[in-house]
Amino acid sequence: AVGSVVLVGAGPGDPGLLTLRALRALNEADVILHDRLVGAGVLALARRDAEQIEVGKQGGRHHTTQETIHALLLEHARAGRRVVRLKGGDPFVFGRGGEELEFLRAHAIPFEVVPGITAAVACAAFSGVPLTHRDHAQSVRFVTAHCRDSRDTLDWAALAQERQTLAIYMGVSELATLQARLIEHGRDATTPFALVENGSLPDQRVVCGVLGNLAERAAAHAVGSPALLILGEVAALAPSLAWFGAAP
Amino acid sequence: AVGSVVLVGAGPGDPGLLTLRALRALNEADVILHDRLVGAGVLALARRDAEQIEVGKQGGRHHTTQETIHALLLEHARAGRRVVRLKGGDPFVFGRGGEELEFLRAHAIPFEVVPGITAAVACAAFSGVPLTHRDHAQSVRFVTAHCRDSRDTLDWAALAQERQTLAIYMGVSELATLQARLIEHGRDATTPFALVENGSLPDQRVVCGVLGNLAERAAAHAVGSPALLILGEVAALAPSLAWFGAAP
Protein backbone atom coordinates (compact mmCIF):
# COMPACT_ATOMS: atom_id res chain seq x y z
CA ALA A 1 0.00 0.00 0.00
CA VAL A 2 1.09 3.54 -0.69
CA GLY A 3 2.26 5.55 2.31
CA SER A 4 1.47 9.15 3.07
CA VAL A 5 3.09 12.49 3.70
CA VAL A 6 2.38 14.87 6.54
CA LEU A 7 3.67 18.34 5.84
CA VAL A 8 4.50 19.68 9.30
CA GLY A 9 5.49 23.13 10.53
CA ALA A 10 8.16 22.80 13.21
CA GLY A 11 7.91 26.37 14.46
CA PRO A 12 10.89 28.68 15.01
CA GLY A 13 13.21 26.34 16.92
CA ASP A 14 12.04 26.05 20.52
CA PRO A 15 10.58 22.51 20.82
CA GLY A 16 7.92 23.94 23.15
CA LEU A 17 6.41 25.70 20.14
CA LEU A 18 5.58 22.46 18.35
CA THR A 19 1.86 21.73 18.25
CA LEU A 20 0.39 18.56 19.71
CA ARG A 21 -0.50 17.45 16.17
CA ALA A 22 3.09 17.98 15.04
CA LEU A 23 4.35 15.93 17.98
CA ARG A 24 1.98 13.10 17.10
CA ALA A 25 3.11 13.15 13.47
CA LEU A 26 6.77 12.99 14.60
CA ASN A 27 5.94 10.05 16.85
CA GLU A 28 4.30 8.15 14.03
CA ALA A 29 6.75 8.89 11.22
CA ASP A 30 8.91 6.24 9.59
CA VAL A 31 10.93 8.85 7.71
CA ILE A 32 11.47 12.54 8.45
CA LEU A 33 12.70 14.84 5.71
CA HIS A 34 13.68 18.00 7.51
CA ASP A 35 15.03 21.41 6.66
CA ARG A 36 18.43 22.35 7.97
CA LEU A 37 17.00 25.07 10.19
CA VAL A 38 14.80 22.67 12.17
CA GLY A 39 16.50 22.47 15.55
CA ALA A 40 17.97 19.42 17.27
CA GLY A 41 15.51 19.87 20.13
CA VAL A 42 12.60 19.35 17.75
CA LEU A 43 14.15 16.33 16.04
CA ALA A 44 14.80 14.77 19.45
CA LEU A 45 11.03 14.44 19.85
CA ALA A 46 10.75 12.08 16.86
CA ARG A 47 10.34 8.32 17.14
CA ARG A 48 13.72 6.85 18.01
CA ASP A 49 13.91 4.56 15.01
CA ALA A 50 12.62 7.02 12.41
CA GLU A 51 15.01 7.70 9.57
CA GLN A 52 16.01 11.37 9.51
CA ILE A 53 17.08 12.94 6.25
CA GLU A 54 18.31 16.52 6.12
CA VAL A 55 17.20 18.27 2.94
CA GLY A 56 18.14 21.71 4.16
CA LYS A 57 18.60 24.93 2.37
CA GLN A 58 20.38 27.86 3.88
CA GLY A 59 20.79 31.48 2.92
CA GLY A 60 19.81 30.99 -0.68
CA ARG A 61 22.37 28.25 -1.37
CA HIS A 62 20.27 25.16 -1.94
CA HIS A 63 21.96 22.08 -0.59
CA THR A 64 19.15 19.94 -1.94
CA THR A 65 17.15 20.98 -4.96
CA GLN A 66 13.39 21.12 -4.80
CA GLU A 67 13.30 18.35 -7.41
CA THR A 68 15.38 16.07 -5.18
CA ILE A 69 13.04 16.74 -2.27
CA HIS A 70 10.06 15.85 -4.45
CA ALA A 71 11.76 12.65 -5.58
CA LEU A 72 12.56 11.63 -1.99
CA LEU A 73 8.98 12.27 -0.85
CA LEU A 74 7.69 10.14 -3.71
CA GLU A 75 10.18 7.33 -3.20
CA HIS A 76 9.46 6.92 0.51
CA ALA A 77 5.70 7.30 0.20
CA ARG A 78 5.60 4.75 -2.62
CA ALA A 79 7.55 2.36 -0.40
CA GLY A 80 4.57 2.50 1.96
CA ARG A 81 6.21 4.67 4.61
CA ARG A 82 4.67 7.36 6.76
CA VAL A 83 6.69 10.37 5.77
CA VAL A 84 6.90 13.62 7.70
CA ARG A 85 8.12 16.59 5.72
CA LEU A 86 9.26 18.89 8.50
CA LYS A 87 9.80 22.56 7.76
CA GLY A 88 10.90 25.44 9.95
CA GLY A 89 8.09 27.81 10.89
CA ASP A 90 4.89 27.18 8.97
CA PRO A 91 4.93 25.24 5.68
CA PHE A 92 2.63 27.72 3.91
CA VAL A 93 4.44 30.94 4.84
CA PHE A 94 7.50 31.20 2.60
CA GLY A 95 7.92 27.44 2.89
CA ARG A 96 7.25 26.19 -0.64
CA GLY A 97 4.80 23.77 0.94
CA GLY A 98 2.28 24.46 -1.81
CA GLU A 99 4.67 23.29 -4.50
CA GLU A 100 5.37 20.07 -2.64
CA LEU A 101 1.68 19.33 -2.23
CA GLU A 102 0.97 20.01 -5.91
CA PHE A 103 3.65 17.45 -6.74
CA LEU A 104 2.21 14.90 -4.31
CA ARG A 105 -1.32 15.44 -5.60
CA ALA A 106 -0.11 14.93 -9.18
CA HIS A 107 1.30 11.57 -8.09
CA ALA A 108 -1.76 10.57 -6.05
CA ILE A 109 0.10 10.47 -2.72
CA PRO A 110 -2.24 11.17 0.21
CA PHE A 111 -1.18 14.08 2.44
CA GLU A 112 -2.10 16.19 5.44
CA VAL A 113 -0.85 19.56 6.64
CA VAL A 114 -0.02 20.57 10.20
CA PRO A 115 0.47 24.32 10.57
CA GLY A 116 3.32 25.73 12.63
CA ILE A 117 4.23 28.89 14.48
CA THR A 118 5.77 31.05 11.80
CA ALA A 119 8.81 33.18 12.64
CA ALA A 120 6.91 36.48 12.66
CA VAL A 121 4.39 35.24 15.22
CA ALA A 122 7.10 33.62 17.37
CA CYS A 123 9.44 36.61 17.28
CA ALA A 124 6.59 38.94 18.12
CA ALA A 125 5.60 36.88 21.17
CA PHE A 126 9.14 36.43 22.43
CA SER A 127 10.12 40.06 21.92
CA GLY A 128 6.90 41.48 23.38
CA VAL A 129 5.95 43.28 20.16
CA PRO A 130 2.29 42.89 19.19
CA LEU A 131 1.97 42.60 15.40
CA THR A 132 -1.30 44.52 15.43
CA HIS A 133 -2.47 47.11 17.91
CA ARG A 134 -5.64 49.16 18.06
CA ASP A 135 -3.67 52.40 18.30
CA HIS A 136 -0.77 51.64 15.96
CA ALA A 137 -1.36 49.00 13.29
CA GLN A 138 -4.50 47.61 11.78
CA SER A 139 -2.80 45.05 9.61
CA VAL A 140 0.41 43.07 9.44
CA ARG A 141 2.18 42.02 6.32
CA PHE A 142 4.62 39.13 6.01
CA VAL A 143 7.19 39.78 3.34
CA THR A 144 10.32 38.03 2.23
CA ALA A 145 13.40 39.81 0.95
CA HIS A 146 15.88 37.03 0.51
CA CYS A 147 17.34 37.71 -2.87
CA ARG A 148 17.55 40.22 -5.68
CA ASP A 149 14.49 38.70 -7.34
CA SER A 150 12.20 39.31 -4.43
CA ARG A 151 13.56 42.82 -3.85
CA ASP A 152 12.93 43.84 -7.38
CA THR A 153 9.32 42.70 -7.57
CA LEU A 154 8.15 44.04 -4.23
CA ASP A 155 5.73 46.94 -4.25
CA TRP A 156 7.79 49.35 -2.20
CA ALA A 157 5.21 52.14 -2.22
CA ALA A 158 2.65 49.85 -0.59
CA LEU A 159 5.21 48.53 1.89
CA ALA A 160 6.16 52.06 2.88
CA GLN A 161 2.66 52.97 4.06
CA GLU A 162 2.06 53.90 7.68
CA ARG A 163 -0.02 52.17 10.34
CA GLN A 164 0.80 48.68 9.16
CA THR A 165 3.37 46.34 10.62
CA LEU A 166 5.89 44.71 8.32
CA ALA A 167 7.33 41.37 9.39
CA ILE A 168 10.23 40.80 7.04
CA TYR A 169 11.82 37.37 6.61
CA MET A 170 15.24 38.15 5.26
CA GLY A 171 18.94 37.73 5.20
CA VAL A 172 20.81 40.27 7.27
CA SER A 173 22.68 41.35 4.14
CA GLU A 174 19.42 42.83 2.82
CA LEU A 175 18.99 45.39 5.56
CA ALA A 176 20.73 48.33 3.92
CA THR A 177 18.67 47.91 0.76
CA LEU A 178 15.44 47.55 2.73
CA GLN A 179 16.19 50.72 4.67
CA ALA A 180 17.03 52.72 1.55
CA ARG A 181 14.03 51.57 -0.46
CA LEU A 182 11.46 52.07 2.29
CA ILE A 183 12.68 55.58 3.07
CA GLU A 184 12.88 56.44 -0.63
CA HIS A 185 9.22 55.38 -0.96
CA GLY A 186 8.09 57.51 1.92
CA ARG A 187 8.27 55.49 5.11
CA ASP A 188 9.38 57.82 7.85
CA ALA A 189 12.99 57.35 8.95
CA THR A 190 11.80 57.55 12.56
CA THR A 191 9.63 54.42 12.22
CA PRO A 192 10.73 52.06 15.00
CA PHE A 193 11.99 48.52 14.38
CA ALA A 194 12.79 45.45 16.43
CA LEU A 195 15.24 43.05 14.82
CA VAL A 196 15.00 39.61 16.42
CA GLU A 197 17.90 37.19 16.09
CA ASN A 198 17.38 33.53 17.05
CA GLY A 199 13.79 34.27 18.07
CA SER A 200 12.40 31.95 20.82
CA LEU A 201 15.81 30.33 21.42
CA PRO A 202 17.88 30.76 24.59
CA ASP A 203 20.34 32.99 22.73
CA GLN A 204 17.64 35.32 21.35
CA ARG A 205 18.74 38.93 20.91
CA VAL A 206 16.55 41.91 20.10
CA VAL A 207 18.10 45.02 18.57
CA CYS A 208 15.87 48.10 18.47
CA GLY A 209 16.15 51.37 16.61
CA VAL A 210 14.51 53.40 13.90
CA LEU A 211 14.40 52.78 10.17
CA GLY A 212 17.01 55.49 9.57
CA ASN A 213 19.66 53.57 11.55
CA LEU A 214 18.57 50.01 10.79
CA ALA A 215 21.61 48.78 8.87
CA GLU A 216 24.00 50.64 11.15
CA ARG A 217 22.47 49.22 14.35
CA ALA A 218 22.42 45.69 12.93
CA ALA A 219 26.08 45.96 11.95
CA ALA A 220 27.06 47.45 15.31
CA HIS A 221 25.50 44.45 17.06
CA ALA A 222 26.74 41.95 14.47
CA VAL A 223 23.25 40.51 14.02
CA GLY A 224 23.36 37.21 12.14
CA SER A 225 20.84 34.84 10.61
CA PRO A 226 18.21 33.74 11.29
CA ALA A 227 16.78 37.14 11.99
CA LEU A 228 13.33 38.61 11.57
CA LEU A 229 12.60 42.30 11.25
CA ILE A 230 9.48 43.83 12.75
CA LEU A 231 9.03 47.33 11.39
CA GLY A 232 6.28 49.67 12.43
CA GLU A 233 4.92 51.78 15.25
CA VAL A 234 4.33 48.64 17.38
CA ALA A 235 8.07 48.05 17.61
CA ALA A 236 8.32 51.02 19.97
CA LEU A 237 6.78 48.71 22.60
CA ALA A 238 9.75 46.30 22.55
CA PRO A 239 11.75 47.92 25.38
CA SER A 240 8.78 48.15 27.74
CA LEU A 241 7.19 44.75 26.97
CA ALA A 242 10.37 42.66 26.80
CA TRP A 243 10.11 39.58 29.02
CA PHE A 244 12.36 36.90 27.46
CA GLY A 245 16.14 36.77 27.33
CA ALA A 246 18.36 39.82 27.55
CA ALA A 247 16.71 43.27 27.48
CA PRO A 248 16.89 44.94 24.05
CA ALA B 1 4.14 37.05 46.67
CA VAL B 2 2.69 38.42 43.48
CA GLY B 3 1.55 35.89 40.90
CA SER B 4 2.07 36.03 37.18
CA VAL B 5 0.21 36.06 33.92
CA VAL B 6 0.91 33.92 30.88
CA LEU B 7 -0.72 35.29 27.75
CA VAL B 8 -1.44 32.17 25.70
CA GLY B 9 -2.63 31.69 22.14
CA ALA B 10 -5.07 28.79 22.00
CA GLY B 11 -5.05 28.42 18.23
CA PRO B 12 -8.18 28.16 16.09
CA GLY B 13 -10.16 25.56 18.03
CA ASP B 14 -8.69 22.12 17.39
CA PRO B 15 -6.92 21.13 20.65
CA GLY B 16 -4.24 19.45 18.52
CA LEU B 17 -3.10 22.89 17.43
CA LEU B 18 -2.12 23.96 20.93
CA THR B 19 1.63 24.21 21.41
CA LEU B 20 3.47 22.20 24.03
CA ARG B 21 4.21 25.43 25.90
CA ALA B 22 0.53 26.33 25.91
CA LEU B 23 -0.35 22.90 27.26
CA ARG B 24 2.19 23.32 30.05
CA ALA B 25 0.79 26.75 30.95
CA LEU B 26 -2.73 25.30 31.09
CA ASN B 27 -1.49 22.50 33.34
CA GLU B 28 0.10 24.95 35.75
CA ALA B 29 -2.59 27.61 35.87
CA ASP B 30 -4.61 28.39 38.96
CA VAL B 31 -6.99 30.64 37.03
CA ILE B 32 -7.79 30.74 33.33
CA LEU B 33 -9.39 33.82 31.82
CA HIS B 34 -10.52 32.72 28.39
CA ASP B 35 -12.22 34.22 25.38
CA ARG B 36 -15.58 32.88 24.40
CA LEU B 37 -14.28 31.46 21.14
CA VAL B 38 -11.75 29.18 22.83
CA GLY B 39 -13.18 25.71 22.35
CA ALA B 40 -14.25 23.23 25.00
CA GLY B 41 -11.65 20.78 23.69
CA VAL B 42 -8.87 23.20 24.57
CA LEU B 43 -10.27 24.02 28.00
CA ALA B 44 -10.55 20.30 28.74
CA LEU B 45 -6.73 20.16 28.72
CA ALA B 46 -6.47 22.54 31.69
CA ARG B 47 -5.72 21.43 35.25
CA ARG B 48 -8.88 19.96 36.70
CA ASP B 49 -9.09 22.31 39.63
CA ALA B 50 -8.18 25.51 37.78
CA GLU B 51 -10.81 28.23 37.98
CA GLN B 52 -12.12 29.03 34.50
CA ILE B 53 -13.56 32.46 33.83
CA GLU B 54 -15.10 33.33 30.47
CA VAL B 55 -14.37 36.90 29.47
CA GLY B 56 -15.56 36.46 25.93
CA LYS B 57 -16.40 38.88 23.24
CA GLN B 58 -18.33 37.94 20.17
CA GLY B 59 -19.11 39.68 16.93
CA GLY B 60 -18.34 43.15 18.20
CA ARG B 61 -20.69 42.95 21.18
CA HIS B 62 -18.39 42.96 24.16
CA HIS B 63 -19.69 40.80 26.96
CA THR B 64 -16.79 41.84 29.13
CA THR B 65 -15.09 45.18 28.69
CA GLN B 66 -11.34 45.39 28.26
CA GLU B 67 -11.21 47.29 31.57
CA THR B 68 -12.94 44.43 33.38
CA ILE B 69 -10.45 41.96 31.89
CA HIS B 70 -7.57 44.14 33.07
CA ALA B 71 -9.06 44.35 36.56
CA LEU B 72 -9.52 40.57 36.74
CA LEU B 73 -5.94 39.92 35.62
CA LEU B 74 -4.65 42.30 38.26
CA GLU B 75 -6.85 40.95 41.04
CA HIS B 76 -5.86 37.32 40.49
CA ALA B 77 -2.16 38.02 39.96
CA ARG B 78 -2.03 40.19 43.09
CA ALA B 79 -3.61 37.32 45.00
CA GLY B 80 -0.50 35.30 44.09
CA ARG B 81 -2.14 33.09 41.47
CA ARG B 82 -0.68 31.76 38.26
CA VAL B 83 -3.05 33.25 35.72
CA VAL B 84 -3.40 32.11 32.12
CA ARG B 85 -5.00 34.63 29.79
CA LEU B 86 -6.16 32.35 26.99
CA LYS B 87 -7.05 33.86 23.65
CA GLY B 88 -8.26 32.33 20.41
CA GLY B 89 -5.58 32.20 17.71
CA ASP B 90 -2.48 34.20 18.55
CA PRO B 91 -2.58 36.93 21.20
CA PHE B 92 -0.63 39.42 19.07
CA VAL B 93 -2.65 39.11 15.84
CA PHE B 94 -5.88 41.06 16.35
CA GLY B 95 -5.93 39.88 19.95
CA ARG B 96 -5.39 43.09 21.93
CA GLY B 97 -2.65 41.21 23.73
CA GLY B 98 -0.39 44.24 23.56
CA GLU B 99 -2.86 46.36 25.50
CA GLU B 100 -3.15 43.76 28.24
CA LEU B 101 0.63 43.52 28.60
CA GLU B 102 1.00 47.31 28.75
CA PHE B 103 -1.48 47.28 31.61
CA LEU B 104 0.34 44.47 33.42
CA ARG B 105 3.72 46.16 32.97
CA ALA B 106 2.30 49.39 34.37
CA HIS B 107 1.26 47.43 37.47
CA ALA B 108 4.53 45.49 37.76
CA ILE B 109 2.92 42.09 37.18
CA PRO B 110 5.39 39.60 35.64
CA PHE B 111 4.24 38.03 32.38
CA GLU B 112 5.17 35.69 29.56
CA VAL B 113 3.71 35.19 26.09
CA VAL B 114 3.04 31.89 24.32
CA PRO B 115 2.26 32.36 20.64
CA GLY B 116 -0.57 30.44 18.98
CA ILE B 117 -1.61 29.31 15.53
CA THR B 118 -3.52 32.28 14.19
CA ALA B 119 -6.67 31.68 12.13
CA ALA B 120 -5.06 32.59 8.80
CA VAL B 121 -2.28 30.04 9.21
CA ALA B 122 -4.67 27.36 10.45
CA CYS B 123 -7.27 27.92 7.75
CA ALA B 124 -4.58 27.88 5.08
CA ALA B 125 -3.20 24.55 6.29
CA PHE B 126 -6.61 22.91 6.69
CA SER B 127 -7.92 24.16 3.35
CA GLY B 128 -4.73 23.36 1.41
CA VAL B 129 -4.19 26.97 0.35
CA PRO B 130 -0.58 28.15 0.72
CA LEU B 131 -0.49 31.77 1.88
CA THR B 132 2.60 32.47 -0.21
CA HIS B 133 3.72 30.78 -3.40
CA ARG B 134 6.70 31.39 -5.62
CA ASP B 135 4.46 31.73 -8.67
CA HIS B 136 1.49 33.56 -7.20
CA ALA B 137 2.12 35.59 -4.03
CA GLN B 138 5.26 37.01 -2.56
CA SER B 139 3.64 38.38 0.54
CA VAL B 140 0.61 37.82 2.71
CA ARG B 141 -1.28 40.45 4.60
CA PHE B 142 -3.47 39.84 7.65
CA VAL B 143 -6.27 42.36 7.84
CA THR B 144 -9.31 42.75 10.01
CA ALA B 145 -12.62 44.12 8.80
CA HIS B 146 -14.84 43.70 11.79
CA CYS B 147 -16.58 47.01 12.05
CA ARG B 148 -17.22 50.29 10.27
CA ASP B 149 -14.18 51.84 11.93
CA SER B 150 -11.74 49.34 10.49
CA ARG B 151 -13.36 49.46 7.04
CA ASP B 152 -13.07 53.20 6.85
CA THR B 153 -9.41 53.43 7.77
CA LEU B 154 -8.13 50.59 5.58
CA ASP B 155 -5.98 51.51 2.62
CA TRP B 156 -8.08 49.91 -0.08
CA ALA B 157 -5.76 50.79 -2.95
CA ALA B 158 -2.90 48.90 -1.28
CA LEU B 159 -5.17 45.97 -0.44
CA ALA B 160 -6.35 45.75 -4.03
CA GLN B 161 -2.87 45.11 -5.42
CA GLU B 162 -2.09 41.88 -7.22
CA ARG B 163 0.30 39.08 -6.31
CA GLN B 164 -0.30 39.35 -2.61
CA THR B 165 -2.54 37.16 -0.51
CA LEU B 166 -5.05 38.78 1.79
CA ALA B 167 -6.13 36.86 4.87
CA ILE B 168 -9.12 38.73 6.17
CA TYR B 169 -10.44 38.21 9.71
CA MET B 170 -14.00 39.40 9.50
CA GLY B 171 -17.63 39.08 10.19
CA VAL B 172 -19.58 37.47 7.37
CA SER B 173 -21.74 40.58 7.19
CA GLU B 174 -18.74 42.51 5.87
CA LEU B 175 -18.35 40.49 2.68
CA ALA B 176 -20.43 42.61 0.34
CA THR B 177 -18.57 45.75 1.37
CA LEU B 178 -15.19 44.04 1.01
CA GLN B 179 -16.10 42.82 -2.45
CA ALA B 180 -17.29 46.23 -3.60
CA ARG B 181 -14.35 48.18 -2.23
CA LEU B 182 -11.67 45.86 -3.53
CA ILE B 183 -13.13 45.82 -7.04
CA GLU B 184 -13.66 49.58 -6.97
CA HIS B 185 -9.94 49.96 -6.11
CA GLY B 186 -8.81 47.77 -8.93
CA ARG B 187 -8.57 44.19 -7.73
CA ASP B 188 -9.71 41.97 -10.57
CA ALA B 189 -13.19 40.48 -10.11
CA THR B 190 -11.78 37.13 -11.25
CA THR B 191 -9.36 36.93 -8.28
CA PRO B 192 -10.05 33.59 -6.58
CA PHE B 193 -11.04 33.27 -2.93
CA ALA B 194 -11.44 30.50 -0.38
CA LEU B 195 -13.77 31.28 2.49
CA VAL B 196 -13.12 28.95 5.42
CA GLU B 197 -15.82 28.47 8.04
CA ASN B 198 -14.91 26.74 11.32
CA GLY B 199 -11.35 26.22 10.12
CA SER B 200 -9.59 23.16 11.61
CA LEU B 201 -12.77 21.89 13.28
CA PRO B 202 -14.65 18.74 12.26
CA ASP B 203 -17.41 20.84 10.70
CA GLN B 204 -15.02 22.94 8.59
CA ARG B 205 -16.45 24.11 5.27
CA VAL B 206 -14.61 25.79 2.43
CA VAL B 207 -16.52 27.86 -0.10
CA CYS B 208 -14.59 28.86 -3.23
CA GLY B 209 -15.27 31.37 -5.94
CA VAL B 210 -14.01 34.63 -7.36
CA LEU B 211 -14.10 38.11 -5.88
CA GLY B 212 -16.99 39.09 -8.17
CA ASN B 213 -19.30 36.51 -6.62
CA LEU B 214 -17.96 36.51 -3.05
CA ALA B 215 -21.01 37.82 -1.20
CA GLU B 216 -23.39 35.84 -3.37
CA ARG B 217 -21.53 32.54 -2.87
CA ALA B 218 -21.26 33.11 0.89
CA ALA B 219 -24.99 33.81 1.10
CA ALA B 220 -25.88 30.80 -1.07
CA HIS B 221 -23.94 28.54 1.30
CA ALA B 222 -25.13 30.37 4.43
CA VAL B 223 -21.56 30.77 5.69
CA GLY B 224 -21.50 31.82 9.33
CA SER B 225 -18.90 32.99 11.84
CA PRO B 226 -16.12 32.27 12.56
CA ALA B 227 -14.96 32.52 8.98
CA LEU B 228 -11.69 33.57 7.44
CA LEU B 229 -11.33 34.81 3.89
CA ILE B 230 -8.24 33.97 1.83
CA LEU B 231 -8.21 36.15 -1.26
CA GLY B 232 -5.59 35.91 -3.97
CA GLU B 233 -4.24 33.79 -6.77
CA VAL B 234 -3.23 31.05 -4.30
CA ALA B 235 -6.88 30.36 -3.51
CA ALA B 236 -7.22 28.73 -6.92
CA LEU B 237 -5.31 25.79 -5.42
CA ALA B 238 -8.06 25.03 -2.88
CA PRO B 239 -9.98 22.50 -4.98
CA SER B 240 -6.89 20.50 -5.97
CA LEU B 241 -5.08 20.60 -2.60
CA ALA B 242 -8.08 20.01 -0.32
CA TRP B 243 -7.39 17.15 2.15
CA PHE B 244 -9.50 17.86 5.26
CA GLY B 245 -13.25 17.61 5.67
CA ALA B 246 -15.72 17.92 2.81
CA ALA B 247 -14.39 18.90 -0.63
CA PRO B 248 -14.93 22.60 -1.44
Domains located in chain B, CATH noted: 4-114 (3.40.1010.10), 119-241 (3.30.950.10)
Convert the pLDDT of each residue in B51-66 to its tens digit: 999 997 654 555 678 9
Give the largest CA-CA distance in chain A: 60
Among the listed residues A14, A30, A35, A49, the single catalytic one is A35
Q: How far is B151 from chain A (nearest CA, A)?
A: 10
Q: Show which of residues 26-85 on chain A sit within 8 Å of chain B, judged by CB atoms.
A: none
Q: Is B119 annotated as a binding residue?
A: yes
B217 in A contact zone (CB under 8 Å): no
Q: Quick check: B37 and B14 in contact, CB under 8 A?
A: no
Positions of chain A with pLDDT lower than 70, given as ranges: 57-63, 146-152
Convert the pLDDT of each residue in B192-246 to its tens digit: 999 999 999 999 999 999 999 999 999 999 999 889 999 999 999 999 999 998 7
- pLDDT reported for residue B23: 98
Would you give the end-to-end CA distance of chain B in angstroms?
54
The one-character DSSP state at B247 is: -
CA-based angle B95:A92:B196, to the nearest 5? 60
Task: Please state, for a pLDDT cut of 70, what percent of chain B lies above it.
Answer: 94
A144 CB neighbours in chain B (<8 A) are 132, 138-139
Span B159-176, average pLDDT: 89
The answer for residues whose C-beta is within 8 angstroms of residue B135's C-beta and 6 or more apart is none
Active site (annotated) includes residue A87: no
**Who among B15, B18, B98 is closest to A234 (CB)?**
B98
- pLDDT reported for residue B13: 92
Q: Quick check: A201 and A126 in contact, CB under 8 A?
A: no
Q: Show which of residues 156-175 on chain A sit within 8 Å of chain B, judged by CB atoms.
A: 158, 161, 163-164
